[in-house]
Amino acid sequence: MNLLEELSRNEPSCLGQELYAFAASIYPICRSITGDGIRATLAAIQNRIPLNVSDIPSGTAVFDWTIPREWNISDAYIKNAGGNRIVDFREHNLHVVNYSTPVHAVMPLSKLRPHLFSLPAFPDRIPYRTTYYEENWGFCLSHRQLQSLEEGEYEVCIDSSLADGTLTYGEYYIPGNSSDEVLFSSHICHPSLANDNLSGIAIATFLAQFLSGRTLRYSYRFVFAPGTIGAISWLASNRDAAKRICNGLVLTCVGDEGPFHYKKSRRGNAQIDRAMARVLRDSGEEFTLLDFAPYGYDERQFCSPGFNLSVGCLMRSVWGTFPEYHTSADDLSFIQPLALAKSARICVALVDSLESDVRYVRQNPYCEPQLGRRNLYDSSGPDARTANLARLWILNLSDGDYSLSDIAERSGLPFSAIQEAARTLRLAGLLSPVGASLHDD
Amino acid sequence: MNLLEELSRNEPSCLGQELYAFAASIYPICRSITGDGIRATLAAIQNRIPLNVSDIPSGTAVFDWTIPREWNISDAYIKNAGGNRIVDFREHNLHVVNYSTPVHAVMPLSKLRPHLFSLPAFPDRIPYRTTYYEENWGFCLSHRQLQSLEEGEYEVCIDSSLADGTLTYGEYYIPGNSSDEVLFSSHICHPSLANDNLSGIAIATFLAQFLSGRTLRYSYRFVFAPGTIGAISWLASNRDAAKRICNGLVLTCVGDEGPFHYKKSRRGNAQIDRAMARVLRDSGEEFTLLDFAPYGYDERQFCSPGFNLSVGCLMRSVWGTFPEYHTSADDLSFIQPLALAKSARICVALVDSLESDVRYVRQNPYCEPQLGRRNLYDSSGPDARTANLARLWILNLSDGDYSLSDIAERSGLPFSAIQEAARTLRLAGLLSPVGASLHDD
Amino acid sequence: MNLLEELSRNEPSCLGQELYAFAASIYPICRSITGDGIRATLAAIQNRIPLNVSDIPSGTAVFDWTIPREWNISDAYIKNAGGNRIVDFREHNLHVVNYSTPVHAVMPLSKLRPHLFSLPAFPDRIPYRTTYYEENWGFCLSHRQLQSLEEGEYEVCIDSSLADGTLTYGEYYIPGNSSDEVLFSSHICHPSLANDNLSGIAIATFLAQFLSGRTLRYSYRFVFAPGTIGAISWLASNRDAAKRICNGLVLTCVGDEGPFHYKKSRRGNAQIDRAMARVLRDSGEEFTLLDFAPYGYDERQFCSPGFNLSVGCLMRSVWGTFPEYHTSADDLSFIQPLALAKSARICVALVDSLESDVRYVRQNPYCEPQLGRRNLYDSSGPDARTANLARLWILNLSDGDYSLSDIAERSGLPFSAIQEAARTLRLAGLLSPVGASLHDD
């Protein structure tokens, strides 16, 4: 089994189009950390994978936090003196500060102004603002529009509700041969923002589809939850499952055309960290490895000291550093099919790497086996040299301590060459896996 | 408690003047490894801190060494044929080779010459010479003067005595909450040499005054002893106390204007080594870290293999490498009030760092606590970003393994910001110290 | 005992001439992995050291391999239509592909051509080719000659035999105080190739002579065996001895004038690896340290996972990388007496280092001993400073954990200075060796 090869039979452009189309289909939904937008998003995912959806009632304590009241919104606008909607939620859901309390009033600009938010540095963009834990209301609009507002009376309406309800998240579990789990997590709370994080949702959904029904070494869990409070809720409700997570990846901002960034787990040298470094190195893509820091996305929660899970975060451009971040410019033109497809390939290569990262022992560990009489010494072909070296390295290092990825690292050879050589040597009866292995291809 | 802040309320210029004045007041004394010069020096220190003075009789075995006879001197000179004192101990105590046996004779220049020492490379300076363990006598003088001596008879007089007596050292102990000790050690055997080591004496004395009467986590011990034989005597007499030394610093050559040098302990990665590296880094001063080597000052004894204590050495210019070293040019013009004050600040920052270098555990280590509802997420102010990061880092790493300094190191944030954030989080009830802690401010 | 000093009493030029003469004397022999050439070579070594020769019968299984039939050859040629020997084994034994099956036939050039091998890139050189495990025959010749061959009939004759016989290797064992063994291994299967590996044979033979009869700390074993199958045979027949090998060195390509290369053992930080790095550093010769890789010479077998011995490989130019490699240009003009002598010096320095790499403890580990009263503090002489430093370092680090080589490494002082200082301090009664030591000079 080589998942990446199988994926490659798909044209990358097809895969990218598919990922992009799914992201585009859920782009218009107004999401928040609770409410119907989340439910609609989970339903869209459920059309593709049999998601298990959980509801945590408002008021439930989750560690240090409390599930807030549920927020829903049907309409919002600012009307000028002429009765025209000059700011209209129906045009862009970023226009309303997320979690705004309901309001309907007429007020002069001077009273309205403290509730208006814009980005002077990017005068054409609408910013993204939230007020989850502080009761308030507000509108976001372009700076250009803000500056053009004339004095006078404005009718302000936010037709929202804050009421006891639930926080909702979805998860999908693919059982493998081992109960050890690999986690993929994406936050689903952002409204119409494409890279952050419809890109992550699209890729996690695809990956779940792709792995579903396969015979796998590890079990896989996909969690789609609101950021922070959602991840905290999942952890609070799944402390046993959390203990089984041996590797995990938070997916965010994986649809733009920036180079890859992998932020390591708090452990810094976990299997996922080494695997991801290798996958990125072998991918030929431009990438940077970042040390763990306790700010970012839900790796913050998975890597909190009580859990300290081996969970890293894959991004292309890094949240907070690209100018489109948390503005209306993070729209469907900011993400690209090919970029999404490449990110998906990285995730598949990661799974491939984790699945294949077996340790072997030589059947007979003394001296070299005679490769020539087994036709295992290639004397021609463009990859003969690499293939021969890979075989020699595996035969030398397969003492039960080195995994295939360790061998790739020490030898400096591509993981794919090591994988291929291991398959060849295993078929030749020269290697046995340490512990159980599924790779009886 | 933040000792450094408290020190800063003192104007640095005042502190520097005070340190300088003390060094100047004991500059004229003719010290040696035994004798009345040492006693006078200890008495001057005793005027400031309640020093405990010990006397070890001549002939006592201290490890591989034996306490020598006590040396005292009242006068010494060379008179020329005209009866004029051309070399006069009363003018500079470096003129006499330290530990010279008594002599009173008239001799021709040819017989005198082997007893005369000068520095051809620095023709105006008097060198510093000793003959502790080899009976001999001699005079040190400027090379210019040596070359101007005319043939003829000279009257030579050294009115010294070598007789059974004692070797004297002083120490001051400040008990803290823990019996673990932090040692500060300065050699007190050099005669009129300002940087080496009146600078060290002045700073150690100041530090003892500054820490006296405070509630402290560690106990502190200040040892003022002659170099080598004095440190060896102290160690031979205090083997139990030596076992309690968890960190220590030899102070020498800390008054000149050169950049700082910290020589690491033999262990190389002891708490003192990491703390000093951090303190120097955070100080903004120019500095160099030096690896341990078994030559230098009394760290040689503290770091001998039988003790192997975590004791380093703080210097500005490094002994033996600056041209004034062990010459009459190491006088009161070579040390500077501001340089002394900065050295004292480094020492206080070190104590601060050691005192504050507590390990904490999160009260509830699962996920992040909700900082917003505790008003622990600063949204404005110039230091808001650093303060927030420091809080997140501490909350993430406080698993009982990381000390605050470890957190400072991993986060790359200034230790002061980490300290401040820890205080805030402790007051908010989010952290508990591991083991006993005094920081109940 | 200082072996290197003793060696230095030999003029390097004499040593070099001797090594060169021995290599030259066995250059004409046509060796292979079995047969009379090997026996003649072992006999030549036996004239110098009492080699123990073993014969392993054809058909014997040695781990994954089987001893092949024995190959011998008496003559071989290609005659042109005029009856002239245009390719003649008697002129150069590289002309015949090693292990060629017998053939005697007349054939046109077109049928002969697939059996002819040349080097287009080096048109004047004869390549070196083998066909040990695949029945075939062939001739090697210069590309220039190949191109000049005219169409027509040629008489081809290889008067060789392939028959049951034995594989032969020789070994010489010098018992030391400890049963722990240091291995030196050279392959002896190459025909007239000087650097690869008459150079290694000459130096190993010399080293065995040089160490013979001495009182040694370690035991020494010299193995002269055909490459790969010979080393595998030795290992298969000597599994107990293999367990006693604590350090080992494969010697190959040590006679040319290239800079030294030491390829580390699979362990990477074995005693031999650290010793060799130090020896090369102290030698003043240009050198490079190479990481282990599972291709090269017989270190492949010694470092296979079932053995994982601490065996490295010393080379000057690296096999496979110099243009003379495996061609007729690797002749007696390619190796140089002085280069051979320097390589031999490196090996002697290695033995010196291993023999002297004792750990000591201070008799009294507290503080420094008083060196002055023991006249152990040198005040003059060009090496006084180094000698004093070496003594201080040893006294500081001799806690039973640091060996003399560890001390050399940490201090940055030459190993010879550390050795000398250890001898002085031991004679002064300040040090005791940890465990048994022979150095009671």
Residue of B nearest to C412 (CA): B293
Q: How confident is the model at residue C437 (pLDDT cuts 50, 70, 90)?
A: very low
Percent of chain A with pLDDT over 90: 88
In this complex, which of A369, A373, A396 lies closest to C303 when CB atoms are compared? A396
Examine the pLDDT at B437 and tell me if it is beyond 50: no
Q: Which helix (H) or strand (E) holds A345?
A: helix A337-356
Least Cα separation, residue A366 to chain C (angstroms): 5
User: Tell me: the pLDDT tens digits for B336-374?
Assistant: 999 999 999 999 999 998 998 889 999 899 999 999 999
C110: three-class secondary structure by DSSP: helix
Domain match, B132 and B252 both? no
Tell me whether residues C364 and B306 touch, CB distance under 8 A: yes
Examine the pLDDT at C316 and tell me if it is beyond 80: yes
Identify the bridge partners of residue A251 per DSSP, sorted by sequence position.
A314
In this complex, which of B266, B303, B305 lies closest to C362 when CB atoms are compared? B305
Q: Kindly give the interhelix angle for C12-26 and C199-211, rounded to the nearest 10 degrees.
A: 120
Tell me, yes or no, if C360 comes closer than 8 A to chain B by beta carbon.
no
N-to-C CA span, chain A: 7
CA distances from A243 to A79, A225, A269, B261 (A): 53, 19, 18, 48
Q: What is the pLDDT, as a whole number, of residue C7?
A: 87
Mean pLDDT computed over C163-188: 97
DSSP assignment string, C281-305: HHHT--EEEE---S-SSTHHHHTST
User: Tell me: the pLDDT tens digits for B207-220?
Assistant: 999 999 999 999 99
- Residue B438 inside a domain? The answer is no
Tell me, yes or no, if B320 comes closer than 8 A to chain C by beta carbon.
no
Domain match, B207 and B233 both? yes
Tell me, yes or no, if C307 comes closer than 8 A to chain A by beta carbon.
yes
Place of tokens 């074993």: C221
Residue of A nearest to B412 (CA): A293
Least Cα separation, residue A374 to chain C (angstroms): 11
In this complex, which of A63, A228, A300 lies closest to B364 when CB atoms are compared? A63
Domain match, B280 and B325 both? yes
Tell me whether residues C365 and B304 touch, CB distance under 8 A: yes
Domain match, C243 and C310 both? yes
Mean pLDDT computed over B79-106: 97
Tell me, yes or no, if A134 comes closer than 8 A to chain B by beta carbon.
yes
> Which of B360, B363, B367 to mutate to probe the A interface, most A CBs <10 Å?
B367
Q: What is the pLDDT, as a whole number, of residue C440?
A: 39
Q: Which of B356, B378, B410 is the last residue of a domain?
A: B356
Tell me whether residues B228 and C368 touch, CB distance under 8 A: yes
Give the up-direction half-sphere exposure of residue A188: CA atoms within 13 A in the CB hemisphere: 33
Tell me, yes or no, if C387 comes closer than 8 A to chain B by beta carbon.
no
Q: What is the pLDDT, as a whole number, of residue B53?
A: 98
In chain B, the number of structural domains is 3
Domain match, B325 and B415 both? no
Tell me whether residues C232 and A398 touch, CB distance under 8 A: no
User: Tell me: the pLDDT tens digits for C210-235?
Assistant: 999 999 999 999 999 999 999 999 99
Domain match, C216 and C307 both? yes
Q: Are strands C116-117 and A399-403 parallel, antiparallel or unpaired?
A: unpaired
Tell me whether residues C367 and B133 touch, CB distance under 8 A: no
- Residue C273 inside a domain? The answer is no
In this complex, which of B365, B373, B411 lies closest to A304 when CB atoms are compared? B365
Ranges of H-type helices in C291-371: 299-302, 337-356
Q: What is the pLDDT, as a whole number, of residue C239?
A: 94
Q: What is the pLDDT, as a whole number, of residue B11?
A: 63
- Residue A441 inside a domain? The answer is no
Tell me, yes or no, if A362 comes closer than 8 A to chain C by beta carbon.
yes
- Residue B40 inside a domain? The answer is yes
> Contacts of residue C236 in chain A, CB cutoff 8 Å?
366-367
- Residue A345 inside a domain? The answer is yes
Q: Of A105-119, B90-104, B345-359, C109-123, give the lowest mean pLDDT range.
A: B345-359
What range does the domain containing C145 cover? 70-163
User: Is the separation of the CB atoms in A95 and A268 below 8 Å?
Assistant: no
Tell me whether residues C304 and A397 touch, CB distance under 8 A: no
- Residue C408 inside a domain? The answer is yes
Structure tokens at C342: 């320097």
Q: What is the pLDDT, as a whole number, of residue A434?
A: 84
In this complex, which of A232, A294, A305 lies closest to B399 when CB atoms are compared? A305
Examine the pLDDT at B440 and tell me if it is beyond 50: no
Domain match, A318 and A365 both? no
Q: What is the pLDDT, as a whole number, of residue B5?
A: 84
Neighbour-count burial of A414, counting CB atoms closer than 10 A to its CB (0-12 exposed, 13-18 middle, 19+ buried): middle
User: Tell me: the pLDDT tens digits for C382-420?
Assistant: 788 999 999 999 999 999 889 998 999 899 999 889 989
- Residue A438 inside a domain? The answer is no
> Which of A360, A363, A366 to mutate to probe the C interface, most C CBs <10 Å?
A366
B182: three-class secondary structure by DSSP: strand
User: Tell me: the pLDDT tens digits for B178-188?
Assistant: 999 999 999 99
Residue of A nearest to B399 (CA): A305
Round to whole Å and give the CA distance between A208 and A194: 20
Ranges of H-type helices in C185-310: 199-211, 229-237, 239-244, 271-283, 299-302
A–B: how many Cβ contacts below 8 A?
63
CA distances from A418 to A174, A330, A358 (A): 27, 40, 11
pTM comes to: 0.74
- Please report, for the domain that includes residue B132, its CATH number: 3.50.30.90
Reported residue count of chain C is: 441
Round to whole Å and give the CA distance between B71 and B33: 8
Percent of chain B with pLDDT over 90: 88
Domain match, C305 and C224 both? yes
User: Tell me: the pLDDT tens digits for A208-232?
Assistant: 999 999 999 999 999 999 999 999 9
> Contacts of residue A231 in chain B, CB cutoff 8 Å?
367
Residue of C nearest to B231 (CA): C367
Tell me, yes or no, if A32 comes closer than 8 A to chain C by beta carbon.
no
Q: What is the pLDDT, as a whole number, of residue B383?
A: 83
Percent of chain C with pLDDT over 70: 97
Least Cα separation, residue C184 to chain B (angstroms): 37
In this complex, which of A133, A231, A307 lies closest to B372 when CB atoms are compared? A133
Tell me, yes or no, if A307 comes closer than 8 A to chain B by beta carbon.
yes
Tell me whether residues C63 and A396 touch, CB distance under 8 A: no
Neighbour-count burial of A255, counting CB atoms closer than 10 A to its CB (0-12 exposed, 13-18 middle, 19+ buried): buried
Tell me, yes or no, if B305 comes closer than 8 A to chain C by beta carbon.
yes
Domain match, C217 and C314 both? yes
Least Cα separation, residue B115 to chain C (angstroms): 17
Identify the bridge partners of residue B288 per DSSP, sorted by sequence position.
B261
Mean pLDDT computed over C81-91: 96
In this complex, which of A64, A266, A295 lies closest to B369 when CB atoms are compared? A64
DSSP assignment string, A185-251: EEE---SS-IIIIIHHHHHHHHHHHHHTTS--SSEEEEEEE-TTHHHHHHHHH-HHHHHHEEEEEEE
**For residue B308, is the peptide bond before it cis, meaning its omega torsion is within 30 degrees of 0?**
no
Neighbour-count burial of A410, counting CB atoms closer than 10 A to its CB (0-12 exposed, 13-18 middle, 19+ buried): middle
In this complex, which of B64, B236, B266 lies closest to C396 when CB atoms are compared? B266
Domain match, A195 and A265 both? yes
Round to whole Å and give the CA distance between A255 and A317: 9
Q: What is the pLDDT, as a whole number, of residue A440?
A: 39
B–C: how many Cβ contacts below 8 A?
63
Q: Are strands B399-403 and B359-362 parallel, antiparallel or unpaired?
A: antiparallel
Q: Which of C129, C163, C197 is the last residue of a domain?
A: C163
In this complex, which of A133, A232, A293 lies closest to B367 when CB atoms are compared? A232
User: Tell me: the pLDDT tens digits for A366-408?
Assistant: 999 999 899 998 877 778 899 999 999 999 999 988 999 899 9
Chains that touch B (3 or more CB pairs under 8 A): A, C
Q: How confident is the model at residue C328 (pLDDT cuts 50, 70, 90)?
A: very high
Tell me, yes or no, if C362 comes closer than 8 A to chain B by beta carbon.
yes
Tell me, yes or no, if A65 comes closer than 8 A to chain B by beta carbon.
yes
> Contacts of residue A393 in chain C, CB cutoff 8 Å?
293-294
CA distances from A26 to A96, A201, A289, A314 (A): 18, 10, 31, 22
Tell me, yes or no, if B434 comes closer than 8 A to chain A by beta carbon.
no
- Please report, for the domain that includes residue B364, its CATH number: 1.10.10.10
Examine the pLDDT at B381 and tell me if it is beyond 90: no
Residue among B433, B23, B52, B368 nearest B206 (CA): B23
Domain match, B289 and B223 both? yes
Domain match, B10 and B153 both? no
Examine the pLDDT at C23 and tell me if it is beyond 70: yes
| Average pLDDT taken over every residue of chain B | 94
Tell me, yes or no, if A372 comes closer than 8 A to chain C by beta carbon.
yes
Q: Which residue has the higher pLDDT, B290 or C5?
A: B290
Tell me whether residues C392 and B294 touch, CB distance under 8 A: yes
> Contacts of residue C367 in chain B, CB cutoff 8 Å?
62-65, 231-232, 235-236, 300-301, 304, 306-307
Strand order in the sheet with B85-88: B85-88, B70-79, B153-163, B103-108
Residue of A nearest to B372 (CA): A133
> Contacts of residue B304 in chain C, CB cutoff 8 Å?
365-368, 395-396
Q: What is the pLDDT, as a whole number, of residue A10?
A: 65
> Which of C304, C307, C308, C311 to mutate to probe the A interface, most A CBs <10 Å?
C304
Examine the pLDDT at A357 and tell me if it is beyond 90: no
Q: Which of A356, A373, A399 is the last residue of a domain?
A: A356
- Residue B300 inside a domain? The answer is yes
CA distances from C366 to A16, B235, C57, C179 (A): 72, 9, 63, 35
Examine the pLDDT at B233 and tell me if it is beyond 80: yes
User: Tell me: the pLDDT tens digits for A407-423?
Assistant: 998 999 998 899 899 99
Q: How confident is the model at residue B433 (pLDDT cuts 50, 70, 90)?
A: confident
Q: What is the pLDDT, as a whole number, of residue C433?
A: 86
Examine the pLDDT at B7 and tell me if it is beyond 90: no
